[in-house]
Structure 1
Amino acid sequence: MLKTLTENQLNRYQQDGVLFPISILSFDEATRYLTLSNQLGSLLKPQSQPVEMSIQMHLFFR
């Protein structure tokens, strides 16, 4: 994935003060994390509510 902003993105940010949307994960990466998240949810379901797990989801994938 591209790690820097394009000239057009920089111009849009300077003009609008915000740049949206910005792709953070590729489709394959997003699919992988969704799959892992669903697997984790299945494992933890008897012990926690889904909303509790989703608050700080990044902590499960260090």
Structure 2
Amino acid sequence: MKTGELAERAGVSRRLLRHYEEQRPRLSERIECLRRNRSAIADYLHTVLSIKPANGDPIEWDRL
């Protein structure tokens, strides 16, 4: 049985399947963008939170 036939038996139209197929590359690009952003934010937080002032006092971040 072909994929289209299985989809129709499951109540999914070929049009909807085509739509999903067309959207898949765009979704993959968006997921990759979000992954890069998450990584950049994690790197930023690691850097910022590891800053130690010269006098040794803790940084009061909400006062900056």
What's the TM-score, normalizing by structure 1? 0.35
Larger gyration radius, structure 1 or structure 2: 2
What's the TM-score, normalizing by structure 2? 0.34
| Structure having the larger proportion of residues in helix | 2
